[in-house]
Chain A
Amino acid sequence: MTFIAKPRVELPNEPVNAIGLRLRDYEGVGSTLCAGCGHDSITAAIIQAFWELSLRPERVIKLSGIGCSSKTPAYFISGAHGFNSVHGRMPSVATGALAANRDLVCIGVSGDGDSLSIGFGQFGHAVRRNLNMLYIIENNGVYGLTKGQFSASADPGSKAKRGEVNQMQCIDAAETAIALGGAFAARSFSGDREQLVPLIKAGISHPGCAVLDVVSPCVTFNDHEGSTKSYAYTREHYAPAVQTDYIPRAEQITAEYEEGQTLPVTMHDGSTLLLRKVDAEYDPTDRSAVLRYLEAHRSRGEVVTGLLFINEDLPEMHEIAGTRQGALTALPFETLNPGSAALAELQRRMR
């Protein structure tokens, strides 16, 4: 098997973005996932969001772990360098990449198995380090690639395809990120492109670790009656708490919004997020209130979505470390090497 090249059909009058690229310039190779897999919809949303953001493909790096979800970086932005790492360890590779070159735009794609079991530690530490990346967890409640075992995000009471009922507690990625002190936690659904695209953009703009937990049904192993990660269940229990409009830096905010109902958040890159509250009481900047809200709704089986929590001011990894602005890789060797005279001087103290 080789990778599948997509047929390139020229379409006249295809729209282009601000840097003259077409939507298809943000595509990758053809997907080999099961038809109807939620992950493919997320890929489409990523393509849409990056195209709309008009990011140069070569500025982007896309990383993943192992799993069906982790295969997807091959399916978007073929002009970006990609890194399909080992199971559960994408965050460390992303840490190194951004340590070397903080100017890169980093998107990491992971699965619920990849991030909440084998990679739980690395997930937590990417959040703790506040690594400047968009961290997407394509959450289907199972290990798709190893054929449908329960993952750590399976809800208690959720039924497996063969009838087994999960009795262990569920690890909620978004809640965990908030509890760990994360600066950006969102949840969405692969079936809600309208919500997903602005969340992806917001996550890219956010200067820190943006965790985006996306319910993404596995049609092959977890889309049946009794599953709490199926299309049907998710649609039925879907409870958006906030809707996000992403307004790029250059654009005027034209929409009228009601004070109290809509919360504008100005991002460090000059863009603005308009958070429209579906539930008027929801305050995405109050950490303990958010956790309380999420817990209350979770106990009712509801899937609360939206930009659940945001704190634009937490310092990211390089700010904490005091690293120079700009990529370390841009430094010439002459700057890095102290030279023979310095070495001689240093050694005077070693005798």
Chain B
Amino acid sequence: MPATQSRINDFVIKIATVNGTGSASANGLLMKALFRMGIPVTGKNLFPSNIQGLPTWYEVRANRDGYISRSGRVDVMVAMNAQTYERDMREVTPGGFLIYDSTWPRRAVEVREDITVLGVPLAAMCNERFKASRVRILMKNIAYVGVLSALMGIDRSILQALLEETFATKPKLVESNLEAIDIGYQYALENFTCPLPVRAQTMGDNAGKILIDGNAAAALGCLYAGATVGAWYPITPSTSLMDAFKGYCQQFRRDPENGRNNYCIVQAEDELAAAGIVLGASWCGARAFTPTSGPGISLMSEFIGFAYYAEIPSVFFDVQRVGPSTGMPTRTQQCDILLCAYASHGDTRHPLLLPSDPAECFEMAVHAFDMAERLQTPIFVLSDLDVGMNDWMIPELAWDDSYRPDRGKVLGPADLDELEKFYRYLDRDGDGIPYRTYPGEDARGAYFVRGSGHNRFGGYTEDGEEYRDVLDRLLVKWDTARGLVPEPVLQAAAEKTSVGLIAFGSSDGAVTEALDELAEEGIDVDYLRIRGFPFNSEVQAFLDGHETVFVVEQNRDAQMRSLLLMETQACSTKLIPILHYNGMPIPSDCVVQGVASNLGNRKKEAAA
């Protein structure tokens, strides 16, 4: 047996299955069990753009120090998919373990001496125990959880408790699932030395923490912000955001007396229409939003420019996926930064909020509505597939019951009484933000929304000066926006350093882990996590305060770096891109290597 380091509460389990076989519930069970043992965990779903029959993987990383990014290692591979067996075997880290279904002969020609291969006749055992073919397939998946439970010290009683909670109303299912667990569990106990050196050990109970994906958290944010109108057109990876919103609305937004909906969700004919619906609803005074992904933003662009120019609050969630074009719909990227920042023709620019985990998806969703209504402009919440669809462990979401939405500058009939005459686009407060009225309230507040040239009174114009007057005021408003976007988060290195690093969104986990590793090697780096656009003075100060600033992002063209160059005073030689764009979540070694190799090269250059 190859030598294996003991790895307690620090490992990666990867499960290779075929999509459409119901492995999700088995994987969820595994992840939750580790979570309940108090070990920090994250789960990443690597799935195809397909409904049934293609390979899919699920990676669970358990790490006692709380590192959450994708790690390059695989300590235990559960190879349930004969199709990908060889490739899966190759991926196992030396000293690691490979578990496979030994019911059928392996196709492998390759042999690996540096890993331990454990065969379990899962299908044979489940076929013997269960009758229906669909049940057999499902139970085979649950059975590998049993195998892992024995091999890796995953508490069987927790598994049982989880099954009892999940199937509270279906005791029969609890029984059959437990039976499947025991099939795997017993086999492993009888045939292998349990537990393995790679294993879990209870270290608490993760009290105060939850497991949630970013789309569900963003949906909760919309619910709590008081959004009543949602419009959408299905697109991965944003679909689950609207699914979750609908679910929460059914739970919390039904009139207790008559069962009627205190919300309206419209599945539009396309994203153009979804954007139009959001604008129409916001114009009438509802909080409205649309979740989409890159292709949807492309289609919505005309309306986005309209909302910018006609000053209509609107909230867009772009759960980014790999582009260009249809790209790889089920893979992650941060590739719509520039698209969203400047969406639509003409001089347009839009605030962006950049959540790095589901907790921020929740907070920023709420903030997006406040900002949209305060600024009367489109706001983009840019998450990505990794944040949106994967399971993250975060502190429990908290809600402040004293929160009241910021509806911005709205005049009602009583306010209109005080006015000689209402004009839509006057900047009365010097912050670039005009006053609006809601349709349906008062004829004195009536105005005509138009995307064509208009003057400060809201009248149609083709007069160059009148046009410029409005366009320039929008820049004043842009400056106001600077003070409303979430502040960046600074993580200063232990030692004073001239090296800085900027990252955002889902790269955060990889960056934090990488910086700890670099610090151990004596490389100190200050880290600024940008959480919004337009950039405020702190971003400028960070750029000014460092000689070298790495910009880490998940796209090919260093879009955030370009945005920094366009929107700050930074010079291009200072900003060094570190890029990752193969569609997988960024791993920490990408950042370590990017920083170390560049700084190493500089030392060489200096020495030569």
Contacts and interface: CB of A to CB of B under 8 A. Distances in A.
B460 interface: yes
Interface of A: 1-3, 56-59, 61, 63, 73-74, 78-86, 89, 91-101, 103-104, 121-122, 124-125, 129, 317-318, 321-325, 327-329, 331, 333, 335-340, 342-344, 346-347, 349-351
Given A92-B277, A95-B276, A336-B226, A74 B460 contact: yes
B269 interface: yes
A327 B206 CA distance: 43
A347 B396 contact: yes
A82 B455 contact: no
Given A3-B459, A329-B438, A351 B36 contact: yes
A340 B259 CA distance: 23
A74 B446 CA distance: 11
Interface in B446-469: 446-452, 455, 459-463, 466
Q: Which 5 A-B pairs have the closest CB atoms?
A: A96-B280, A92-B276, A79-B443, A100-B286, A81-B439
B303 interface: yes
A122 B443 CA distance: 29
A264 B281 CA distance: 36
A83 B399 CA distance: 36
Interface stretch (B63-71, B207-215, B495-503, B588-596): B207-215
A81 B446 contact: yes
B284 A97 contact: yes
**A95, A339, A340 — which one has the most chain B CB atoms within 10 A of its CB?**
A95
B439 A61 contact: yes
A95 B36 contact: no
A142 to B, nearest CB: 21
Contact of B229 (A84, A93, A100, A104): A100
A95 to B, nearest CB: 5
Given A92-B277, A93-B283, A324-B255, A99 B264 contact: yes
A91 B268 CA distance: 11
Contact of A92 (B255, B273, B462): B273
A350 B395 CA distance: 11
**B229, B404, B463 — which one has the most chain A CB atoms within 10 A of its CB?**
B229
Contact of B212 (A92, A342, A350): A350
Interface string B194-226: 000000000000100111100000001001101
Contact of B440 (A61, A74, A92, A338): A61
**A57, A324, A338 — which one has the most chain B CB atoms within 10 A of its CB?**
A324
Contact of A89 (B253, B276, B398): B276
A306 to B, nearest CB: 30
B262 A340 contact: no
A151 B122 CA distance: 66
Contacts of B285: 100-101, 329
Contact of A329 (B210, B228, B268, B405): B228
A101 to B, nearest CB: 5
Nearest to A95: B277
Interface residues of B, number: 82
A96 B440 contact: no
Nearest to B461: A2
Given A89-B273, A344-B396, A83 B440 contact: no
Contacts, number: 235
Majority-rule SS of A interface residues: helix
B288 interface: yes
Contacts of B404: 333
Contacts of B212: 347, 350
B514 to A, nearest CB: 29
B443 A83 contact: no
Contacts of A61: 284, 439-440
B397 to A, nearest CB: 6
B440 A2 contact: no
Contacts of A351: 32, 35-36, 206, 209-211
A321 B226 contact: no
Given A81-B447, A84-B449, A122-B269, A324 B280 contact: no
Contacts of B444: 79
Given A122-B273, A323-B261, A324-B255, A85 B284 contact: no
A343 B442 contact: no
B560 to A, nearest CB: 30
B226 A125 contact: no
Contact of A95 (B270, B273, B302, B405): B273
B441 A58 contact: yes
B260 interface: yes
A338 B276 contact: no
A96 B399 contact: no
Given A331-B228, A333-B226, A335-B262, A93 B279 contact: yes
B286 A82 contact: no
B229 A336 contact: no
Nearest to B306: A86
Interface in B141-192: 165
A101 B275 contact: no
B280 A59 contact: no
**B210, B280, B283 — which one has the most chain A CB atoms within 10 A of its CB?**
B280
Contact of A323 (B264, B280, B437): B264
Interface string B243-269: 000000000110100111111111011
B277 A101 contact: no
Given A100-B229, A322-B260, A339-B399, 15 more contacts: A1-B460, A2-B466, A58-B441, A81-B437, A92-B275, A99-B264, A99-B277, A121-B273, A125-B269, A324-B261, A328-B262, A329-B440, A338-B224, A342-B252, A351-B211
